[in-house]
A and B are shown apart, each in its own frame.
Chain A
């Protein structure tokens, strides 16, 4: 077993353990902190996959923005979550069955796939994937239209979030 494999096994254990803890904790602040650990583990997986830019974006966007926003929302809606309450709904047995079946089916299908043991081809020492990604995102032959649509989507989400979360006037 190489050092790379050791790092991968360790980090995937961390990811799955903290995701499990996030799913099962009834205290939402603890769940959000375990979510941060999971997201950080996914950033390490991106580093192992030679996608350094995505790892940085993962830390900035997911941990820096999304997880903090989650913690804000937990704090803003906390006062009845503070008292002890059941965190699972009445259908959790079916939910457990369905999600376990889904993950099991994926794993069985992967086990039957012939190319699943593929090893990563060499990336080439002279390639700079960050430069290539930037060029692909803004070149007309690449992904400039999805890129612009994503920016419009983010603007729409920004305005929509402001409108939805704004306090209502009396009588509305």
Chain B
């Protein structure tokens, strides 16, 4: 049997890697990939807590389905923004998209 903590350690590691990708990568698409990693880490946590602590009702899995929907919406809008920025400025480098930076 697998203890609950193993899943939580895995998701902590995955979340850390996603956070690093979001903070350190230059390319906007790589940043979105990092966000996907963090959402997956959160989903592992949600489903693990559902299975180990409250398997009698389905709230954990229902929340995981909501996270899927939000992730799909986020990627659709995010990639549309990236393509729009690329069309106007010929770059997807997040450190060069600095028009609103003081």
The residues of A with any CB-CB pair to B shorter than 8 Å are 2, 4-5, 8, 12, 15-16, 19-20, 22-23, 28, 31-32, 35, 38-39, 42, 45-46, 48-51, 53-54, 57-58, 61-62, 65-66, 69-70, 72-74, 76-77, 80-81, 85-92, 94-96, 98-100, 102-103, 106-107, 110, 113, 115-121, 123, 129, 132-133, 136-137, 142-143, 146, 150-151, 153-154, 156-158, 160-162, 164-165, 167-168
Contacts and interface: CB of A to CB of B under 8 A. Distances in A.
25 contacts: A12-B6, A19-B14, A23-B24, A42-B40, A49-B7, A62-B71, A65-B72, A66-B72, A70-B29, A70-B75, A74-B29, A80-B90, A88-B24, A95-B23, A98-B19, A99-B16, A99-B19, A115-B4, A117-B3, A121-B55, A133-B61, A146-B62, A151-B69, A154-B73, A160-B77
Nearest to B39: A62
Given A42-B40, A48-B2, A120-B51, A103 B16 contact: yes
Contact of A106 (B12, B53, B68, B94): B12
B95 to A, nearest CB: 5
B72 A61 contact: yes
Interface of B: 1-10, 12-21, 23-27, 29-30, 32-34, 36-37, 40, 43-44, 47-48, 50-53, 55, 57-59, 61-62, 64-66, 68-77, 79-84, 86-88, 90-92, 94-95
A74 B39 CA distance: 20
A120 B16 CA distance: 26
Contacts, number: 254
Nearest to B14: A19
A98 B5 CA distance: 23
A167 B65 CA distance: 33
Contact of B33 (A45, A70, A160): A70
Contact of B9 (A45, A91, A107): A107
A137 B64 CA distance: 12
A142 to B, nearest CB: 7
Given A16-B14, A136-B57, A142-B58, A119 B1 contact: yes
Contact of A54 (B14, B61, B92): B61
Nearest to B28: A77
